[in-house]
């Protein structure tokens, strides 16, 4: 599958992604058999390694506490978009 920028314009996946970079990755999960629409999943976290074929990262915990941080491995062929995102800052009121 060819990676796009979300608007249908082809996007090149970088050859190098520095370890500890915080990114958001959107992956294709294929067509839903019920509604026949494409399904996507977003992962936000810190890159642990990238070899051009497989992205390993530590996915951030959910902000509402419903999911702890955990390691994920993403195949480059499923990546639709990959963008850097700023660090999450925790502020208390």
| Residues of the domain holding 46 | 22-84
Q: Residue 13: pLDDT above 60?
A: yes
Percent of the chain predicted with pLDDT > 90: 70
Picking from 13, 27, 21, the residue whose alpha carbon sits closest to that of residue 45 is 21
Mean pLDDT calculated for residue range 52-77:
95
Cα three-residue angle 49-51-56, rounded to 5 degrees: 35
For residue 10, tell me if it sits in a domain: no
Q: What is the mean pLDDT of the chain?
A: 88
Q: Give the mean model confidence (pLDDT) for residues 73-86.
A: 94
Q: Quick one: pLDDT band at residue 28, thresholds 50, 70, 90?
A: very high
Q: Is residue 4 part of a domain?
A: no
At residue 1, does pLDDT exceed 50?
Answer: no
Predicted pLDDT at 15: 86
- Number of folded domains that form the chain: 1
- Is position 49 within any domain? yes
Q: Is residue 51 part of a domain?
A: yes
- What confidence tier does 90 reach under pLDDT thresholds 50, 70, 90? low
pLDDT, average across residues 74-84: 94
Q: Which residues, 6+ apart, have CB-to-CB distance to 71 below 8 Å?
A: 48, 56, 57, 58, 59
């Amino acid at each position: 599958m060819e990676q796009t920028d979300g608007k249908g314009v082809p996007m090149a996946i970088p050859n190098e992604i520095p370890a500890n970079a915080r990114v958001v990755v959107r992956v294709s999960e294929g067509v839903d058999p019920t509604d026949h629409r494409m399904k996507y999943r977003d992962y936000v976290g810190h890159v642990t390694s990238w070899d051009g074929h497989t992205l390993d990262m530590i996915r951030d915990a959910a902000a509402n506490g419903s999911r702890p941080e955990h390691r994920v491995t993403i195949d480059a062929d499923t990546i639709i978009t990959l963008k850097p995102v700023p660090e999450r800052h925790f502020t208390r009121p």
